[in-house]
Copies of this chain bind each other. A is one copy, B any other.
Amino acid sequence: MIKQTELAELGEFKLISRLTKNFSATHKNTVYAIGDDCAVLAKTKQAHTLITTDLLMEGIHFDLMFTPLKHLGYKAVVVNLSDIYAMNGTPEHITVSIAVSAKFTVEALEELYEGIALACKAYSVDLIGGDTSASLTGLAISITAVGTVNPKSITYRNTAKKNDLICVSGDVGAAYAGLQIMQREKTVFQQSKGAQPKLEGYEYSIQRYLKPEARADVIQNLADASIIPTAMIDVSDGVSSELLHICSQSNVGCRIYEERIPIHKNTQKIAQEFEMEAIIPALNGGEDYELLFTIPIEQHEHIKTIPDVHIIGSITEQEQGLYMISRSGSPIAIQAQGWTAFE
């Protein structure tokens, strides 16, 4: 009998490497293919083209019970642009494909496209194409973003160096906290028909979940200060998962410090309500779309002048492993959370 392996046995990253192991690049303009935030194609001496794509499925990536279509359209664009910024690039174009079931009206789709248009305007991106089709159940959105980057300042994941400082922008864990509130209020609403959701006091985290922004401002500020990160990734699956990508691909280890992880007070409040340590969503929550990057330790004084960027630790030799030093001083191994969508 032929062996049958369930998807949950592998997880996303092992699955991708197994499915793509027989592919190899044949075009000399293929600079970098699978394995980073974007693929990289040679364009001119001064510019590479960046390409990234995402496929969002209703019920997996979004819940229309509490996600307004306009927000969904905005977010679907932003999460792709975030991947372009994570290569230190500038997004310029997107394609948008949707598949919709008959339950959607034209007016509903117009709301979705209003959000897409808002994101295009906010980030100076042109919508250049796409596909529109039917779906048997629910909504699927596939976006491809195309950007440009100077080959001299492109930032991969696999180039972090020993002693580099590890930095993260903004704060982390808020999107996950916001999602917990939305899911709690959905359950209350479903159990007692007509109960109005209580969202007051959670606005910051809910906004971070429903309408995230890509950190174009951080990329601009780094460029203005002539700081080119040695490695960079955007925080879509959580700080732990992204650190694991950078460290395993760069063959290095890391030490980060719990007290230095930036957590918003609204995230802390929600974590407390859910009787959870705030560091858990901060490390493993995902969907923050902040930038996690490394810089040479010599840039220490320069990075402190960049607003909203926090040094959370440093890169070590690979043999030293990946650890977070807790507030009490204990080293805690940073675990692969993996991808549990198939479980």
User: Which residues on the B side are within 8 Å of A134 (C-beta)?
Assistant: 7, 57, 60, 341-342
Residues of B within 8 A of A126 (CB): 23, 25-27, 30, 33
Interface assignment of A223: CB less than 8 Å from any CB of chain B: no
Residue of B nearest to A3 (CB): B107
Bound together, the chains give a CA A27 to CA B127 distance in angstroms of: 10
| Contacting pair A16 B132 (CB below 8 A) | yes
A90–B267 alpha-carbon span in the complex (Å): 50
Pick from B19, B106, B109, B144: contact of A110, CB below 8 A: B19
Identify A41's interface contact among B15, B18, B34, B146, CB under 8 A. B146
Which among B49, B128, B137 is the interface contact of A30 at CB below 8 angstroms? Answer: B128
The count of residues in chain A whose C-beta lies closer than 8 Å to any C-beta of chain B is: 79
- Interface flag for A188 (CB, 8 Å): no
On whether the beta carbons of B102 and A6 are closer than 8 Å, the reply is yes
Asked if B55 and A23 sit within 8 Å, CB to CB, the answer is no
- If A18-B110, A105-B6, A140-B140 touch, whether A33 touches B133 (CB-CB below 8 Å) is no
Q: Are B131 and A55 in contact (CB under 8 A)?
A: yes
Please give me the residue from chain B that is nearest to A25 by CB atom. B126
With beta carbons under 8 angstroms apart, the residue of B6, B20, B44, B146 that contacts A51 is B146
Contact call B41/A4, Cβ cutoff below 8 A: no
A107 and B49 alpha carbons, distance in the complex (Å): 33
Q: At the interface, yes or no: A216 with Cβ under 8 Å from chain B?
A: no
CB distance from A25 to the nearest CB of B (A): 5
Contact surface of A with B, Cβ cutoff 8 Å: 2-10, 12, 15-16, 18-20, 22-23, 25-27, 29-30, 33-34, 38-39, 41, 43-44, 49, 51-61, 92-93, 95, 97-100, 102, 104-107, 109-110, 113-114, 117, 120, 124, 126-138, 140, 142, 144, 146, 341-342
Name 15 A/B residue pairs within 8 A (Cβ), A-sorted: A5-B106, A6-B105, A22-B113, A27-B124, A30-B126, A33-B127, A43-B49, A51-B129, A53-B130, A53-B144, A55-B133, A55-B140, A60-B135, A134-B342, A142-B142
